[in-house]
Structure formats: structure tokens, C-alpha cells
Amino acid sequence: MSTTQLILLQILNTGVTMGILMLVAIGLGIIYGLMDVINLAHSEFLMLGAYGWVIARLVGLDGWTGLIIAPVLVGLVGYVIERGLVQYLYRRPLDSLLATWGVSLILVQAARIVFGPAPQAVPTPLEGAVDLFGMPYGRYRLFVLAVSIVIISLTLAVFRYPTFGLKTRAVFQDAEMAKCLGIRAPRIYSTGFVIGAALAGLAGALVAPMLTVAPDMGANFLVQSFLVVIVGGAGSLVGVVGGAGVIGGIQGLISYFSSSVLAQVITLTLAIIVVRVRPRGIFTRK
Amino acid sequence: MAHLAVRDVHTFYGPSHVLHGASLEVETGSIAALLGRNGMGKTTLLRSIMGLTPAASGEIELAGTRIDHLQPFDIFDLGVGYVPQGRHVFPYLTVQENLRLGLRNKRKRDPEIFEKLFGYFPILAERRKQKAGTMSGGEQQQLAIARALAGEVKIMLLDEPTEGIQPSIVDEILELLVRINQADGLTILLVEQNMELGLSVARDFFVMEKGVVVEAGAVAGMDKERVINEYLVV
Ligand SMILES: Nc1ncnc2c1ncn2[C@@H]1O[C@H](COP(=O)(O)OP(=O)(O)O)[C@@H](O)[C@H]1O
Ligand SMILES: [Mg+2]
């Protein structure tokens, strides 16, 4: 392989990592930024999404259906959790942390009971490779990259969308004042939570064929997504997307040139530096 | 008829009891000044009326309808405009976006309302694309008032709109409020620490002391010296 091909390969792989990380972290960032809720169960949204494929197969549906089932199912689960629990924990970060930790344990255990504790492989729905400048690259990975780009752009657009976006930004900046201007803040919180959950579910479904699916698969993504939110700042979607770019980029590049352990060490160090010098994140104003 | 009636309201912040049975009535179409030293509960009373810090007991009525168990957004829908202490404009949104958020129907860009507001506050027309957080205190105050007016409200609660603002703009703001009150019959409850300013525009007055309204009446018949000595001298 030529150097150019290697670089291209690296860029594509890093892009896939960044895309998944953005999909997961957006929800975490929205939920923290809008409602001061630290959601430790967010990683379980990803895990449940990954099981979307397994569920699709169990009920006898075609493999691709998993990709649709995952965000819908996980969005519903998110809605139930928001209405049943999280809505009582707004602006109580510590309580929300404890309560969602409980939810996380329950969901992992439930997955163990329903699907069994053993990791399961999900067959790739897109076999084979395409030729990119004389280099073979997995079709499915390209597909994941494309879907991530489209969905992230769509999400950014929804939050920019004239009325909903404006209301959401108002609630982000000053929730009390927004309410005094007739904005139903609780509805915005619910919607934000469900969108975040659905995106994590989609991320889970997207990564499933590239990894193995297991009840405890979420943990690693949770750590990474928290780093994204810390580094990028939870004040805006741009912060989260930027943070995912930085973290995903570092992880991808360093683990390629050196080891993934070094990549972890460097990301953690970066997170610590950011907390010291820009406690509200690199991309957050003020 | 009373546009706004507050009866025996008790309000708490967590365990701390701040309003101890506050009562007042603001007549439809009038301007009333709510006076009192710092920390006496004026802001808390407005917050309770808006539903931000709900009253634990007592009654709050708007044109005869109880609103004390409603959420702030429902109270806005009933035509109550709020200009909080410290202005609370959305700092990272433009002037125009701040104003749009004040509209009743935020989907509809209403050129008529905007024209009217820009007529009241020409500076906002000049600054319409500027981020609100980058403007001076006086400009932000005008924006906060314009944003409340954008909702075509029938009653407006203003919490120290003259605080920290240069005198020329203070006069402009107060004159404008009087003009809108006379032209459109907007009812105004104005919290003021500066008694002279408050009384210069108001028809009625209330004085708060330690979470209770201790004096109320018409400005015309007011014994200013006594009220100042008893309640307003620091
Ligand atoms: N968020 C709060 N938590 C606890 N106490 C508060 C809070 N806000 C105000 N207070 C207390 O309530 C009392 C009345 O305050 P406030 O309504 O702001 O008075 P005013 O507007 O007349 O200056 C004060 O003693 C103040 O310390
Ligand atoms: Mg006050």
C-alpha cells in the first residue's frame, strides 16, 4: 500500500470513529446542557440499539430492518425513562447521576436475561469492499460514514430550524426567561431527550456489525462520550460535535501510529487540561 | 376592577420563608409602583405572580381568574409580560431573535408588531442583527421591554428597569411606559427602589417590608415623608 492510500485509510477510519462518537455524544450533551442531567444510562441506549439487529432477526425481519428498529425502539425507551424518571431530576446533577446509574444497571441486567450474557456477532448487511484509489475499503464502513454525516447534519438542521431551534437555544441560554415567554420548556426537554436517545440507538445499530453485541458493550462508549462533552462543552451542539471531532481524531490517529493505550492516556490528559483551563469546554463561549 | 389581585401570598425558597402573606391589587389600566428596600421581597412577589417561584399558599387572580397554580408559559399566554430584574435578554441571540421569542405566535414573523416596537425603540432597529449580550445595559433593558411588548400583553410586570442605567435612558423608558399605558391601556406593575422615579409615573403605590405589603394607596394622597422615614430610609 502506498503512503497516500494509508493516509486515506486512516482518514476514513477516523471519520467512522468520529461519526459514531458524535451520534452518541450529541444526546449526552443535549441532556446535560439543557437540563443538567448526567445520564449514565445513555450508553445503554447504544447497547439496546445494537440489539436492534438481534431483535429484527428474532422476529424474522430482514437484517436491514434493525437499523430502523433501533432508533425507534430506543427513542421510545428514552421517552418512557424521561417521563417516568428523568423529568423529576432536572437541575439535580448528582441525583440524576445516581438514578440513571440504577437505570443503567437494570437495562444491562435486562439485556442479559433477554438476550443472554454471551457476546453475539451480527452479520454485516453489506458484504465486500469497494475500490478506493486501488485500495479495498469495506462497503459497510463507508455506509456507516455516510449515514453518520447525513444524520448529524439533519440533527444540526433540526436544532437550527427556525422555530424549534430558536426555542431550544432560548431554553439553553435562560430556561426561566424562555418559560416566561410562553415556551413549554418541559416539551423541549422531552423532545431533546428522545432525539438524543434515538441517535445513541442508531449509533449502536451502526456499530453492531463492526463489533460484537453484548449487554455491557456501552461502558466504553460512555467514557468516550463524557470526554467529548467535557472537552467540547455541553453548552451547544457545535461544542459536542467539535469535541467528538477532537476526541475521535486523536484516538484514531494515535492508535494508528502508536498504541490505543497511548491514545487513551493522551485523551484523558487533554480532558484534564481542558477542565483546568477551559472548564466549560473548548467550543463553549465565555 | 382589579386586573391583578394578590391575596395573602406566602412563598418559600426551599426552607426560607420570604413572603409572609403579601397582598395587593392593581387596577385595570393603571400604573402601580411597588416600593421597598433591598431584600424585602419585591422580586419574589413578581416571581410568584409569574409562576417561577410558586406561592405555597394564598391566591393570585388575573382579571378574576386564579393563576396561582399555573406554569409561567400559561401565565404568559394569559397576557402577562415580565421584564425581570437584570433584564435576562438571551445573550447569544440577536436582537431580532430575542424579539421573535417574545411574540405570541413564534412561527409567524409579524412585521406590524416589529414596526411598532422599532418605532418605540429606534436603537433596536439599528442593532437588530447584533447579539443581545454585546449591547449596553440600557439597550438590553429596552430590548427586554420590547420583547415583553411583542407578546401584545395586557399587563406588564417590570422589576427595577432603571437599575444601573444612565439617566437620559431612564427618562425615555419611563416616558414610553406612560405613553403606552395611556394609548393602549396597558396595566403596569413597576418595581422601583428609586421612590421618586416610581412615584413620578405611578397612580397607585405599594410598599413592601419583610415579605408583606405594609402601605398601599393613591400616590396623590400619599404622605411621602412619613412613608420614606418609616420604610424607605436605608
Ligand atoms: N433564590 C433564593 N434563595 C433563597 N433566598 C432568596 C432567593 N432569592 C431571594 N432570596 C431572599 O428573599 C428575600 C427577598 O428577596 P427579593 O425578593 O429579591 O427582594 P427585593 O427584590 O425586594 O430586593 C431576601 O432576603 C433574599 O435574600
Ligand atoms: Mg429585587
Domain ranges of chain B: 2-232
Residue A262 has pLDDT above 90, yes or no: no
The residue that leads in pLDDT, B224 or B211, is B211
**Can you tell me whether residue B162 is helix, strand or coil?**
coil
CB-CB contact of B192 with B159 (8 Å): no
The answer to whether B76 faces chain A, any CB pair under 8 Å, is: yes
Residues of B within 8 A of A174 (CB-CB) are: 88, 90
pLDDT (mean) for B134-158: 96
Shortest-distance Cα residue to atom 12 of ligand 1 = B18
**Which atom of ligand 1 sits closest to the CA of residue B208?**
22
Q: State the complex-level ipTM.
A: 0.95
pLDDT on residue A235: 66
Measured between beta carbons, the chain A residues lying within 8 angstroms of B72 are 176, 179-180
Instruction: For residue B85, report the distance from its CA to the centre of ligand 2, in Å.
Output: 6
The verdict on a CB contact (< 8 Å) between B92 and A177 is: no
Q: Using pLDDT thresholds of 50, 70 and 90, give the confidence band for residue A19.
A: very high
Please give the average per-residue pLDDT across A259-280, as a whole number: 79
pLDDT confidence of residue B21: 97
Select B2-232's CATH number: 1.10.3720.10, 3.40.630.10, 3.40.50.300, 1.20.1250.20: 3.40.50.300
Window 184-223 of B, Cβ < 8 Å to A? none
Choose the closest CB to B84 out of A173, A177, A178: A177
User: pLDDT per residue over A35-93, tens digit each?
Assistant: 889 999 999 999 999 999 988 888 888 778 889 999 999 999 999 999 999 999 998 98
On the question of pLDDT at A191 being above 70, the answer is yes
B190 neighbors B176 (Cβ within 8 angstroms) = no
Q: Is residue B11's pLDDT more than 80?
A: yes
Residue A259, C-alpha cell as written in the block: 498504541
Rounded to the nearest integer, the mean pLDDT of chain A is 89
β B57-62/B65-66 pair status? antiparallel
Ligand closest to Cα of B44 equals 1
Out of B76, B91, B107, the one facing A181 most closely (by C-beta) is B76
Q: Which region among A64-73, A175-184, A228-237, B145-154 has the lowest average model confidence (pLDDT)?
A: A228-237
- Quote the pLDDT of residue A285: 62
Answer whether B93 sits within 8 Å of A177, measured CB to CB: no
Residue for grid cell 435576562:
B88
| B86 at A interface, C-beta within 8 A | no
CA of A243 vs chain B CAs: smallest distance (Å): 20
Whether residue B205 is predicted with pLDDT greater than 60 in this model: the reply is yes
Query: What cell was used for A245?
Result: 471531532
> Residue A166 is nearest to which of B52, B75, B101, comparing CB atoms?
B101
Among A20-24, A133-137, B13-17, the least confident range: A133-137
Mean residue pLDDT of chain B comes to: 94
Is pLDDT of A286 > 60?
no
Residue A112 pLDDT > 90, yes or no?
Answer: yes
pTM: predicted TM-score of the whole model, two decimal places: 0.86
Q: Can you say how many angstroms the Cα of residue B192 is from the centroid of all Cα atoms in its chain?
A: 10
Contact B93 A166 (CB under 8 A): yes
Question: What is the percent of chain A where pLDDT is above 70?
Answer: 99
Atom of ligand 1 nearest to the CA of B41: 17
